[in-house]
Structure 1
Amino acid sequence: MFKFILWLILIQSTVQKTLVVMDFDHTIVEKNIIQLLTDMLPKDKLPVETKESFLKTFSFIPHTQLFFKKVHELKVTEQKMLQLIENQPPIDEMDKVLRILHHQNCDIVIISNSYSVFVESWLRFRSLRHMVNRIFTNPAWFDSTGLLHVKGYHFQSKCRLSPSNLCKRSVMEFFLKYQRFQGISYNKIIYIGDGKNDMCAALSLKENDLLFPRVGFLLHSMLSNITRRIKPKIFPWTNGSNIINILQTNKL
């Protein structure tokens, strides 16, 4: 009887909200730091095998660290790398998407296979950091010499849709459990992403949720070819205006 009463108290005291989960690279901004550096540096300065490894699997942390070591040897400074990120504009009206969702009192989290120092720097430079409740990404920091160090967010070997350093479904489920413990639950999840590593989280969404895959990117093509039924409502997007219009139509 006591457990039942406690359960009723917890249910009554739980706040119901909307959760927004967003990627960063190719969702909020167009390019990741490795692509920006590769575009900037002379083509003959980066080893071919390193460059190809990164353009294909830039989430692979040991290779990423070798890449940043080479960048450091080429005298690319911390300030220069942060400027590259900060000067990159948001994908058309994606900053407006963040502002609208924040104004609607949604909780916003970023789950990204990017690097913490760059996600934080870009959001602060654009005066958007206070709108994001949590950032889940690979830890990264500059040492006293200006060398960037990176670590995987975690290690996992169960999810074949995700790199070993980040399963977004696992992170999202952890956050949902943590929030329930804090007395907050979500009656709707809005998931906005683009890549293969968003697929695992997308498959865990429910009927009341909204899924926004970016047109022309891997998540969208994977969803187009999937044979099993996926539960959330799916809304392909190419820019922030698409997302805003759909959210207004669905009366968020």
Structure 2
Amino acid sequence: MAGKIVAVFDFDKTIIDLDSDNWVVDELAGTELFNQLLPTMPWNSLMDRMMKELHSQGKTIEDIEEVLKRVPIHPRIIPAIKSAHALGCELRILSDANMFFIETILNHLGLKDYFSEINSNPSFVNEEGRLRILPYHDFTTSSHGCRLCPPNMCKGLIIERIQASLAKEGDKKKLIYLGDGSGDYCPSLKLKEDDHVMPRKKFPLWDLIFSNPIRIKAEIHEWSDGEVMEKVLLQIINKTSVEVEQGKSTCAAQLFSASDCKLQTISASAHEALPQALPVPL
């Protein structure tokens, strides 16, 4: 039963085929300024600064939305998401992009309602009509303490929170984590033996995992594009569903066997309690 599975997707270069931050900056002619500022500040802070600069150049929220609606996506990604959801798999997103970009794209693709949760950097349109992009973890006041992750977001901490919330539900669920970037390595290390990780082949996460695969407890399944992702993801879901059903059958058989044994014991006891037959005279 796929209801036992939670699939957690990265967004950039996983659901969509590129980085949404770079896409917006490039499409709105901000690449040169972006490259100038990149060495001077963290990526998340730089994106907030770029939204300010683009706004000052007359770029509107509507301009950003139109650019996001043109973002390229592999044709098999949408069917993969819909099929996984139809099988009963719970879907979530964990991304270092931002909520405005992700929700705009998902709404345009008709996919937003397929995801039960989106974890990303918060964003909002201020009173001036400018998009503000903030860090998920406010690193200006305190550090999340993870050396593997950027200062604004530790995906490993978020996966641990998801694991804890699932544990409270009392029904053990398996995680499938799909990603591509170095920021997806930390959450991959948090996965357990019954879980699955799907790194995109020849991307940073794949390189990190296969440089020392023994560190990963989860089962590893590589993928290269949307077509392969769909095939692998649905195979995992179907296999897990079969294993769960087989587990139920085994459990039911064990219960039946135990019940049968009890009946035999009662029958034997009843037999022993019967009056003994008189000896036959010779």
TM over 0.5, shorter chain: yes
Which secondary structure does the structure 2 equivalent of 1:158 belong to? Answer: coil
Match in the other structure for 2:232: 246
Contact 1:96 1:240 in 2 (8 A): no
Q: How far apart are residue 234 of structure 1 and its match?
A: 1.1
Q: Which amino acid aligns with 2:16?
A: V
From 164, 169, 176, the equivalent of 2:151 is: 164
Counterpart for residue 8 of structure 1 = none
Specify the SS of the correspondent of 2:191: coil
What is the DSSP-based 3-state SS (H/G/I as helix, E as strand, rest coil) of the residue aligned with 1:163? coil
Say how many residue pairs are matched. 233
Q: What displacement does 1:218 show? A: 0.6
Choose from 39, 63, 80 the match for 2:26.
Answer: 39
Q: Which residue of 2 aligns with 1:100?
A: 83
Match of 1:5 in 2: none
- Stretches of structure 1 that go unaligned for 5 or more consecutive residues are 1-14
Which deviations, in whole Å up to 9, do the C-alpha atoms of 1:5-48 show, x marking residues without a partner?
A: xxxxxxxxxx9720101101111112333311332244686264
CA distance in 1, matches of 2:213, 2:71: 37
Contact 2:25 2:34 survives alignment (8 Å): no
TM-score, length basis structure 2: 0.75
RMSD over aligned Cα, in angstroms?
2.3
Distance 2:92 2:117 in 1: 5
**Structure 1 equivalent of residue 279 of structure 2:** none
Cα distance change of structure 1 residues 48 and 210 upon mapping to structure 2, 3 Å threshold: closer
2:61 is matched with 78
Match of 2:117 in 1: 134
Matched, 1:180 2:167: yes
> Take 2:58 and 2:18, find their aligned partners in 1: how far apart are those partners?
22
CA–CA separation in structure 2 for the residues paired with 1:229 and 1:139? 31
**1:161/1:200 contact within 8 Å kept:** yes
Q: Check conservation: 2:25, 2:31, Cα contact below 8 A.
A: no
Output the TM-score relative to the length of structure 1. Answer: 0.83
The one-letter amino acid of 1:91's match is H
Deviation at 1:217, TM superposition (A): 1.3
Question: 1:70: how far off?
Answer: 1.0
The answer to whether the Cα contact below 8 Å between 2:3 and 2:90 also exists between their aligned partners in 1 is no
Aligned residues with identical type, % of pairs? 26
